[in-house]
């Protein structure tokens, strides 16, 4: 059920000539990962809850009058520039373009949403563009009472009509998957007056997620779209003004983007923003590859780098700027769930639909050797889609998890009900694990493959050809040994690294056999599971394997209808167990920390929140340190 703070006070509130009891509630809201909403019914005189936030299963950590978030420095100075890097290029600044193009990094920075989460809570979010929200116990609708002081970057006021316009624009010109689901989830949005907007929820959607979806609506300027005739789905550099703290300052196509803090930003003084949005300027520098980017960082061409290469982290941080003390190299904690990354099988390929083939191919990836020999032993092996959380399946199923699995027992491998969940395999210290090779050969034989005259596996006279598609040179040294192992198995395996535009085109159309990709998961799950792991998500870019399972579909329904976190987590554990057995992603590694390097003019709170590094959010600039670096010639 939806919990309310202790001591909530009831009062009577009238709107639209309708009297209703109001409970002053402090609930919370699961915005992270929430992509959906729920049920339209006739209005009744049921109890109406008024709150500054919403929570699916718990209570908000912050009261309505909180001065600032616990993890920020409320006295952080404003000023300075932070610069980061991006790989590849960009050809437009519209982050919502769906027809073509590569939008610039951070191009959505200017657009704000009605509700906002925090970096130290799971499943909570608060009124941001609103002051309060109102909803009935049935959660058939929600009303957001918008802040009257909000303005767009061009100085024009934001109203409820802009919210209505934005929702309709996303339905009409957003992605097909968004329009089909959210259009049914939220069939109507109505401006009750200039600063009051009401979202109605359609039947058949979980009540756990609907307010989150409504509150995640980005707000665009209706006047700008009507004056320009622009479309949301078209690539362009001329973009609509947002209400956010940053706006586009300048760009050099394919090379650089500069965002500047809006000096007239409406929200500087609200409690949510105290200690945040501290940099005057955010600069993004583009480079063709990671090598060029790293050389530029060493030379001071950009100033903050989040490292993702174990090779660099272990061997390359010995340059003069670091030796001189100009650059800080720091490992910082990361409490968020690791993305469920790995080698993803394209299940639309008939040759990969036999689980025995997938099991055999997975056996040829050697995590132990890869980590020790190529990654300096810095990583841990990922086992679960929800690694390290209460939603990770562990041991033999029991309790609620077992009960949920028994409901779908006729649709799953019976062994799932009684066996310990394990990794697909373990590997030894040599690149090619001979034991795994023997198991893989047996699986391929069981799947109907035999060795041809050239020693390569074939079935019905056709070889098994597997193409690895990649976009990043940094994966060459990881994928190449895997290719070698597959070749020794008898697979005709190739590695094809393409440019970013071709990679996007081919992955969007599922024109690949295997890629290195992953699935985003959340610390609280809901209807978004259907898009990522449900049958309705087949063919969606959020489901790169095009995975589907009737059993998982049933369990997703249990997740979305859960009345407690225990129910939700148990159902997710059951899903985790089934998907790990179905093996549509060869699990690889995770880090559990951030590798950061930055010029010593940036500072951050001593204790960071568990779920966000927050570099562009609540870090700040030290002008005295920056001046010392400039005087020393550290920066370009």
Mapping DSSP onto H, E and C, the string for 575-599 reads HHHHHHHHCCEEECEECCEEEEEEE
pLDDT for 376: 95
Q: Give the angle 196-200-204 at the CA atoms, nearest 5°.
A: 160
Which tops the pLDDT comparison, 24 or 174? 174
Q: For residues 552 and 324, what is the distance between their CA atoms, to the nearest angstrom?
A: 55
Q: For residues 162 and 548, what is the distance between their CA atoms, to the nearest angstrom?
A: 38
Closest among 632, 84, 595, 596 to 324, alpha carbons compared = 632
Residue with the two structure tokens 């009935």: 136
Q: For residues 237 and 78, what is the distance between their CA atoms, to the nearest angstrom?
A: 28
Phi, psi of 81, deg, nearest 5:
-125, 145
pLDDT for 599: 98
Tell whether the model's pLDDT for residue 75 goes beyond 90. yes
pLDDT for 7: 28
Burial status of residue 176 (CB atoms within 10 A of its CB: 0-12, 13-18, 19 or more): exposed
Supply the angle between the helices 355-363 and 434-446 in degrees, to the nearest 10.
Answer: 160
DSSP state string for 116-131: EE-SS-SSEEEESSEE
Closest among 58, 146, 77, 89 to 619, alpha carbons compared = 77
Which tops the pLDDT comparison, 32 or 186? 186
> Lowest-confidence range among 163-167, 207-211, 347-351?
207-211
The structural domains of the chain, with segments of one domain joined by +, span 9-72+107-228, 340-589
Q: For residues 581 and 408, what is the distance between their CA atoms, to the nearest angstrom?
A: 15
Q: What is the mean pLDDT of residues 628-633?
A: 96
14 vs 18, 37, 40, 45, CA distance in Å?
Answer: 6, 26, 21, 11
Q: For residues 147 and 214, what is the distance between their CA atoms, to the nearest angstrom?
A: 16
How many angstroms from the chain centroid is the CA of residue 357?
A: 30
List, in order, residues 6 or more apart from 136 with CB less than 8 Å away. 20, 44, 46, 47, 48, 49
Task: Read off the tokens for 154.
Answer: 């061009």
With contact defined as beta carbons under 8 Å apart, do 363 and 440 qualify? yes
With contact defined as beta carbons under 8 Å apart, do 488 and 438 qualify? no
pTM, entire model? 0.85
Q: For residues 509 and 516, what is the distance between their CA atoms, to the nearest angstrom?
A: 16
Start-to-end Cα distance in the chain: 56
Residues 491-501 pLDDT 10s: 999 999 999 88
pLDDT for 536: 87
Which class does domain 340-589 fall in? alpha beta
With contact defined as beta carbons under 8 Å apart, do 567 and 404 qualify? no
Tell whether the model's pLDDT for residue 361 goes beyond 50. yes
Q: Which helix (H) or strand (E) holds 203?
A: none
Q: Residue 381: beta bridge partners? A: 589
Residues 550-586 pLDDT 10s: 999 999 999 999 999 999 999 999 999 999 999 999 9
Report the relative pairing of strands 492-497 and 465-470 from DSSP bridges.
parallel
Helix (H, G, I), strand (E, B) or coil at 443: helix
Enter the DSSP assignment of 338. P
Q: For residues 519 and 382, what is the distance between their CA atoms, to the nearest angstrom?
A: 13
- Average pLDDT taken over every residue of the chain: 91
The upper half-sphere exposure of residue 221, i.e. CA atoms within 13 Å in the direction of its Cβ, equals 22
Q: What is the mean pLDDT of residues 579-596?
A: 96
Residues 271-328 pLDDT 10s: 999 999 999 999 999 999 889 999 999 999 999 999 999 999 999 999 999 999 999 9
Closest among 161, 209, 140 to 181, alpha carbons compared = 209
pLDDT for 100: 76
Q: For residues 343 and 337, what is the distance between their CA atoms, to the nearest angstrom?
A: 18
Looking at 447-521, list the stretches that DSSP marks H as alpha helix, in order from N- to C-terminal side: 476-489, 500-508
Q: For residues 427 and 411, what is the distance between their CA atoms, to the nearest angstrom?
A: 30
Using CA of residue 159, residue 160, residue 165, residue 171, what is the dihedral sign? positive
Q: For residues 614 and 594, what is the distance between their CA atoms, to the nearest angstrom?
A: 11
CB atoms within 10 A of CB 386: 22
pLDDT for 235: 94
Q: Residue 157: beta bridge partners? A: 151
Phi, psi of 184, deg, nearest 5:
-80, -35
Q: How confident is the model at residue 44 (pLDDT cuts 50, 70, 90)?
A: low
Phi, psi of 438, deg, nearest 5:
-65, -40
Enter the DSSP assignment of 103. B
Residues 473-483 pLDDT 10s: 889 999 999 99
Q: Which helix (H) or strand (E) holds 222?
A: helix 222-228
Return the exposure string of 588-619: e unless at least 16 CB atoms fall within 10 Å of the residue's CB, then b.
bbbbeebbbbbbbbbbbbeebbebbbbbbbbb
Q: For residues 526 and 533, what is the distance between their CA atoms, to the nearest angstrom?
A: 12
Tell whether the model's pLDDT for residue 487 goes beyond 50. yes
338 vs 388, 510, 544, CA distance in Å?
Answer: 9, 24, 17
With contact defined as beta carbons under 8 Å apart, do 576 and 386 qualify? yes
Tell whether the model's pLDDT for residue 34 goes beyond 70. no
Residue with the two structure tokens 């799971």: 122
With contact defined as beta carbons under 8 Å apart, do 559 and 553 qualify? no
Residues 179-196 pLDDT 10s: 888 999 999 999 999 999
User: Strand locations in 229-277, DSSP E?
Assistant: 246-252, 256-261
Residues 149-184 pLDDT 10s: 999 999 999 999 999 999 999 999 998 878 888 999
pLDDT for 3: 42
DSSP state string for 367-411: HHHIIIIISTT--EE---TTTTSTTS--SS--HHHHHHHHHTGGG
Which CATH superfamily is 9-72+107-228 part of? Periplasmic binding protein-like II (3.40.190.10)
Tell whether the model's pLDDT for residue 29 goes beyond 80. no
């Amino acid at each position: 059920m939806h919990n309310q703070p202790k001591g909530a006070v009831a009062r009577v509130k009238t709107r639209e000539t309708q009297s209703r009891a109001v409970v002053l509630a402090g609930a919370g809201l699961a915005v992270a990962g929430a992509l959906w909403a729920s049920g339209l019914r006739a209005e009744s005189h049921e109890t109406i809850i008024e709150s500054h936030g919403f929570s699916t299963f718990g209570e908000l950590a912050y009261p309505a009058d909180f001065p600032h978030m616990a993890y920020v420095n409320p006295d952080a100075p404003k000023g300075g520039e932070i610069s980061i890097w991006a790989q590849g290029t960009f050809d437009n600044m519209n982050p919502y373009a769906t027809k073509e193009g590569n939008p610039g990094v951070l191009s959505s920075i200017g657009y704000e949403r009605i509700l906002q989460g925090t970096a130290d809570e799971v499943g909570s979010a608060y009124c941001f563009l609103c002051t309060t929200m109102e909803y009935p116990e049935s959660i058939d609708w929600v009303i957001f009472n918008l802040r009257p002081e909000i303005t767009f970057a061009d100085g024009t006021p934001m109203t409820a009509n802009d919210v209505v316009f934005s929702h309709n624009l996303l339905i009409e010109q957003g992605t097909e998957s968004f329009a089909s689901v959210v259009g049914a989830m939220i069939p109507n949005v109505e401006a009750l007056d200039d600063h009051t907007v009401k979202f109605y929820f359609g039947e058949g959607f979980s009540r756990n997620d609907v307010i989150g979806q409504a509150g995640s609506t980005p707000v665009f300027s209706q006047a700008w779209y009507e004056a320009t005739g622009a479309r949301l789905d078209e690539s362009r550099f001329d973009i609509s003004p947002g209400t956010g703290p940053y706006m586009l300052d300048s760009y050099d196509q394919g090379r650089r983007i500069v965002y500047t803090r809006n000096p007239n930003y409406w929200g500087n003084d609200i409690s949510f923003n105290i200690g945040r949005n501290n940099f005057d300027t955010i600069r993004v520098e583009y480079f063709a590859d990671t090598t060029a980017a790293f050389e530029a960082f060493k030379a001071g061409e950009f100033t903050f780098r989040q490292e993702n290469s174990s090779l660099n982290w272990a061997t390359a941080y010995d340059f003069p700027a670091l030796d001189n003390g100009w650059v800080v190299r720091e490992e910082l904690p990361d409490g968020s769930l690791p993305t469920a990354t790995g080698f993803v099988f394209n299940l639309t390929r008939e040759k990969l639909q036999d689980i025995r083939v997938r099991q055999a191919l997975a056996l040829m990836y050697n995590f132990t050797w890869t980590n020790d020999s190529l990654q300096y032993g810095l990583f841990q092996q990922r086992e679960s889609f929800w690694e390290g959380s209460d939603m990770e399946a562990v041991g033999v199923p029991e309790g609620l998890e077992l009960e949920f699995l028994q409901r779908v027992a006729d649709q799953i491998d019976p062994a799932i009900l009684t066996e310990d969940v394990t990794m697909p395999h373990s590997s030894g210290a040599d690149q090619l694990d001979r034991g795994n090779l023997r198991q893989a050969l047996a699986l391929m034989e069981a799947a109907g493959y035999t060795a041809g005259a050239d020693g390569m596996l074939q079935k019905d006279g056709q070889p098994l050809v597997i193409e690895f598609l990649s976009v990043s040179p940094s994966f060459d040294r990881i994928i190449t040994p895997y290719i070698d192992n597959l070749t020794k198995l008898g697979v005709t395996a190739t590695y094809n690294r393409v440019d970013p535009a071709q990679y996007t085109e081919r992955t969007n159309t599922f024109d690949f056999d295997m890629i290195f990709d992953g699935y985003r998961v959340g610390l609280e799950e809901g209807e978004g599971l259907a898009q990522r792991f449900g049958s309705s998500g087949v063919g969606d870019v959020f489901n790169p394997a095009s995975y589907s399972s009737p059993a998982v579909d049933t369990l997703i329904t249990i997740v979305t209808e859960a009345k407690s976190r225990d129910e939700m987590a148990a159902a997710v554990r059951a899903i985790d167990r089934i998907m790990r057995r179905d093996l549509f992603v060869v699990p690889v590694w995770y880090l559990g920390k951030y590798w950061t390097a930055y010029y010593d003019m940036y500072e951050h709170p001593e204790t960071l929140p568990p779920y966000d590094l927050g570099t562009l959010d609540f870090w700040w600039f030290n002008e005295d340190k920056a001046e010392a670096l400039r005087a020393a010639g550290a920066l370009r």
